[in-house]
Structure 1
């Protein structure tokens, strides 16, 4: 038996699709847009939107701090916006969701990285050093515009860590308690595309197409089923120790997979097949290493003295996971991840 609920988001996918942005806003019946974008894309987006753009906020931050949301909320009300267009990575998307959760404004998201959160009804926010998440249909963006041209200039290091962030969504979907045949197919296709994209980054432009398509599929998995140990650890490390979101995923993912391997052997076998390797956790390590991604929490700036506290926080709140969660087990996992050891 399984249950599958399709998320009612509209997706526009294709090179040059940014040109349809104004059309997508008007399709929602909206006419006053607050643009959430940094300096790189702000002018281009405002040009496409024309008179629809009534204001801009450039201050989106990692882990969606509530104080940043309050500042953006002030701007939203000052310009009397009825919708937001967020262009960028997970920080811009998170801010759009936080504004929608508070005001009900419609969201059009234009991802420039591979975070995947744009197709999920999940919002993670940080207050007083603690990151918490909530899920609601009201948080799900109304429209997502995927334009591969916007990701072609993404720096190599950000490309790698962002793509592994997406890969984590596919991996954990396969051993989620809500796993089902539809999500399994999406997760395995996403894994193949993301692996091919990472391996082909120095070969040709088609790698970007694979990465963006894989990120969308993996994000759809994230929005359809619950996540486990890996995402819990990354939220803990990011929200409480201010580690960068996507690079933390690159480091932690193979260690979380190894922790769960004995309890989810079929998922690991299918992942290994999709990656084209014999051992799934080791295959992810090799994928990250070959692509030039980070492999230790130490290089991301985490202090070894904080590992005990991180393990305490991670084990403090129960959540579904294939393997039993123990302080000793998580502390050992974090120790290996901090040192950059190959996962056990």
Structure 2
């Protein structure tokens, strides 16, 4: 009989409640009540003010307040203003309405106030089911993992995603896929998250092209949201690796759009990892129905018409060297040990939009 190593792994389920289904945003006041909340502070970006008003209208009287200045990468100056508002209105819980910007701000507030959170995501970013926060101060983005920022409840209402533009749906969905991709070669990967990761990639890869063709499709939107939940749960359950480090550096240092950066870098980083994580590459390729993981991801990105190069999103070429240096600081656990020259070469390819290339190890 073939010698088979015994299965050994750790899996930690995160303590949060998920409500999934069309129209379930209307249950927000009851969820808040169950958390003992009567004076919620709703946080959103300026673009989501109307939606925040609609959620506020579900509550009786004038018990809610809205802070609508959430911004990408959770800048500290925005967080400090929101903290002042939360204290002034004596908020007893936080409701994030929107994508990663709103959810990130709610997490930053929860970290400093201990207030419970309810998240109503409108994108596929997945941060609503993670104990991870990334904050930017003095031009540098830092992340940490703590249960203190994990939302107590998440309400997935497909109707909240119907107005997400097709292009943003595509980049947000690729951002979600990145969580699952890295979960498959994470240092603490386990059978549970690996199953979720492969299913999440497959669900999003099937749904996103349909959303591009028919943005009003409830079915495609629902499957994309399901895939995003699976991928986000992977992000929250195991550690991420090089791709997330690269994107945090690029986004925090050069103020690049978060989802676009993930969408552009994903195939390049996967190609970079290929020789060091062959089992993960096979599972990614299988989920995509492709011969290779990186070519499948690149083909999906091209099919979704997302930006193909860092130059398109105004990453300065002269910043490549600095980015490579920052990637090597406080590195994440990774199947391949990164070095300056190979990281710089990968970033150069991504800046120019040339094809991803697996490097010989």
Give the TM-score normalised by the residue count of structure 2.
Answer: 0.94
Across the aligned residues of Structure 1 and Structure 2, the Cα RMSD in angstroms comes to 1.0
> How far off is 1:40 after superposition?
3.2
The answer to whether residue 22 in structure 2 is matched with residue 15 in structure 1 is yes
- Length, aligned pairs only: 344
- CA-CA distance at 1:68 after TM superposition: 0.4
1:210 and 2:210 are equivalent in the alignment: no
Which structure 2 segments of 5+ residues have no match?
Answer: 1-7
Asked if 1:300 is matched to 2:313, the reply is yes
Shift of 1:48: 1.4
Kindly state the Cα deviation for residue 316 of structure 1 after the two structures are TM-superposed: 2.1
- Structure 2 residue 43 is matched with structure 1 residue 33: no
> In the alignment, does 2:328 pair up with 1:315?
yes
| 1:202-243, Cα deviation, whole Å (9 max, x unpaired) | 154321111100001100000000000100000000001110
The answer as to 2:89 corresponding to 1:79 is yes
- 1:143 equivalent in structure 2: 153
Shift of 1:47: 1.1
| Other-structure match for 1:42 | 52
Q: 2:144 aligns with which of 131, 134, 144?
A: 134
Q: 2 CA distance for matches of 1:119 and 1:173?
A: 15
What stretches of structure 1 of length at least 5 have no aligned partner? none
Partner of 2:274: 261
Aligned mates of 1:256, 1:52 — CA distance in 2: 49
Deviates more, 1:232-241 or 1:47-56: 47-56
The match for 2:71 is 61
**DSSP-derived class of the 2:291 partner:** coil
For residues 292-324 of structure 1, the C-alpha deviation after alignment (integer angstroms, 9 at most, x for no partner) is 111100000011111010001101223211111
Matched, 1:252 2:237: no
Distance 1:113 1:142 in 2: 19
1:52 Cα offset (Å): 6.8
What is the alpha-carbon distance in structure 2 between the residues aligned to residue 297 and residue 276 of structure 1?
A: 27
Single out whichever of 189-198 and 199-208 deviates more from structure 2: 199-208
> Which residue among 225, 235, 239 is the counterpart of 1:226?
239
Contact 1:198 1:287 in 2 (8 A): no
Deviations 1:68-93, CA, capped at 9 Å, x for gaps: 00000000011000101110000000
Q: What is the distance in 2 between the residues matched to 1:149 and 1:111?
A: 11
- Asked whether the 8 Å contact 2:56–2:64 carries over to 1, the reply is no
2: CA distance between counterparts of 1:62 and 1:239?
Answer: 9
Render the CA deviation track for 1:156-190: whole Å, top value 9, x for unaligned.
11101000000000000000011001001110110
Contact 2:158 2:218 in 1 (8 A): no
CA distance in 2 between counterparts of 1:170 and 1:245 reads: 17
Shift of residue 200, structure 1, vs aligned partner? 1.5
Give secondary structure in 1 for the equivalent of 2:61: helix
2:3 — aligned with what? none
